[in-house]
Amino acid sequence: MASGRMEFHAQSIMQHANFSFALPNDAEMTEVRNHKHYERPTKSLLLLHGLTGTDTDWMFGGLAQEMARQYNLAIFMPTTGNSFYLDKGYVGGNFGQFVGEELPEYINKVFGYFSNREDSMIGGLSMGGYGAIHTAFAFPERFSECIALSSAIHLEDIAGKKASARSLMPVEMLTDVFGDLSKLMESDKNPKVQFAKLKKEGRKIPRLYMAIGTEDAPALYNANTDFRDFLQRENADFFFEDGPGRHDWAFWNAYLDRGLKWVLG
């Protein structure tokens, strides 16, 4: 395995942005469970962290290197702060543009990956699960598959948020990230709105794998099953599963593996 960490100047967020990577370019076949993944070109996966996380989370808490090896994946993991991977509408604050456009283009220029839609995927956990869904729907011409784990898509709760000194994300922070909370549900920050627009326009919609632990926070679990029900009504190409687990690395590592099995067939 080849792995490392880089930084480059990202214009969309006007800062030197860090990203980690894991590449299977020297994987030992004796360590690979299923050699069929090496009968095709290496696929690319952009893997997003959760709230308070960094680009190294999936390397040290997660199994990025092992997943890269087992599934012949070039995995890239950026740091974006607590942005929910959304654009603020000005150069210097466009984190959606960063992960959906500028970073894949830079990776393609330097490493040669993310060269086509069919071989490009995005995934993430918690805040990054929301970010993966939102980015996949915002850039459907770039990503063909999405893996969303324990996704923070509880937008109805966020839209009705009241300020609290004990809140992980106080209302001031939520407003900075999502804008006017009273308009959140009708905005393009809502994946349901994004999906409906893509479907109406007849555009390609990325396939979606979703998973959440049955012992996760009720607000997150209920929001994920609600989104599952929405996707079912819309006849979307997706797979949803839940199972014993909490909001932790034991669940995310196990279900990243399961998600990759599904999206890669």
Domain spans of the chain, in order of start: 2-263
Q: Global pTM?
A: 0.96
The helix/strand/coil state of 102 is helix
How many other C-beta atoms lie within 10 A of the C-beta of residue 9? 10
Residue 194 has pLDDT above 80, yes or no: yes
Query: Does the domain made of 2-263 have the CATH classification 3.40.50.1820?
Result: yes
Residue 163 pLDDT > 70:
no
Percent of residues, the chain, with pLDDT higher than 70: 98
d(CA 188, CA 176): 16
pLDDT tens string 39-91: 999 999 999 999 999 999 999 999 999 999 999 999 999 999 999 999 999 99
pLDDT at position 169: 84
Q: Where are the beta strands (DSSP E) in the chain?
A: 2-10, 15-23, 43-48, 73-78, 120-125, 145-149, 207-213, 238-243
Name the burial class of residue 215, with classes exposed (0-12), middle (13-18) and buried (19+) by CB atoms within 10 angstroms of its CB.
middle
3 state SS of 241:
strand
